[in-house]
Structure 1
């Protein structure tokens, strides 16, 4: 019996785009397999519906809620709380996977499965940004539907949705940047709890304390306007000029920055990019121990 020699067939090279798509899919499968992922996303959906239903509270029959009150409902009161409630709920999804990989040594599996370390980390950033953006857009849609229904049932007029659009865009931008910042912070400190505490305490307290200290230094008064999360709140506060002068002054105090919405968005994007670069460098230098 004559044997036929087998000719080796060269594998088809995988493009960077294909490698990244596979890496994002790999990361999503891990998140989607966790029950906590769906519990957190379901909680955000429920809160969005509740916020929309409550938008008609205090509005008289035949009148409409202000554009800013509508934005506030969509953002789940982001400016008053200093952070969107949805962002806080997304923290475990943004910080958990990478911190767990590095601390438990499972990062080796990820690195062997995917093309390389940069691809693995960039996939986490892309998935986080997409998840944040889709969460904001989905929450906005649910709040809008709930608001429209509540106002119609109560025979109240609909708000000026076009005036609410700038605030909605600022919210979507913040929610897109937030998981990137959180994932990068987790890579830098390598600890889930520490990263979460930093991302909660710095926007809520750290920037306020830093602002107080900076105002004591001559010539540094305006630096507080450029702190990243204050700038992020300035981006989300787009459209608050529809308020009365008294309410507007209160909103500006809560924002903590006098930057315009556009400038605030630029500062937030720049900070996010800087965190992503620092996180990438730290991730590439880590050993999976």
Structure 2
């Protein structure tokens, strides 16, 4: 097939044939949803003689991870936040620096024809070159699976300038990748997960697609799930046919417990099993207009801690 490099790829704290009004240049639906977490409430005890009042907790300004807790102490009674699920919710503004994109050049890897064309691969690969400079990452691979032997595949990622990778030339890796062409009710999109062959650690992963479908099955001990209800709906109580998207987020988690939740346009990191995971959520938007779909762009990499 022809080479293709697709789609520009946005981090929170903690924390979803009739023609419709235009709301996004692609179409389709997604069912990638998480339950909305409720914000914790702090309470302070009241003295008999006088009343002590705690100041309202201020919203966190850094991504909150699973081992972070906040405690308010009154002069008479200590009250501890109990929101261990998300660490609190805040519709923080997007960080202009938290942008990312991915592209996959599948080279001569075969396209599966159907109502919607697709490419699916789960290949053993050898890294030919891996470069990272000023936020531009290029990884050239030779990949084999079944009858496909030593097919040249290239991963292209853009991220913040200090986004680091741990990939070396000559390294043996495993690549799971997917591409779908534009369909009747779905957009063109793709994703990939690159893991170290010896340890299974996720070295680099990225999504530019209408959903995360299929990605978690390839992430091993990691999972990436949507978090909704963080920001107010742009269309109030009636969202049946709105061209404005809801800002949602993602929860990046490791089986060992560490995690971070990032609203779109934000960046965060967490430590697990001796590795530091850096995630950038460039775009995470849920659309409500008829025949529209969600759109996600995120990248994640890990390096030794």
Q: Greater Rg, structure 1 or structure 2?
A: 1
TM-score normalised over the length of structure 2: 0.21
* Larger fraction in helix: 1
More strand, by proportion: 2
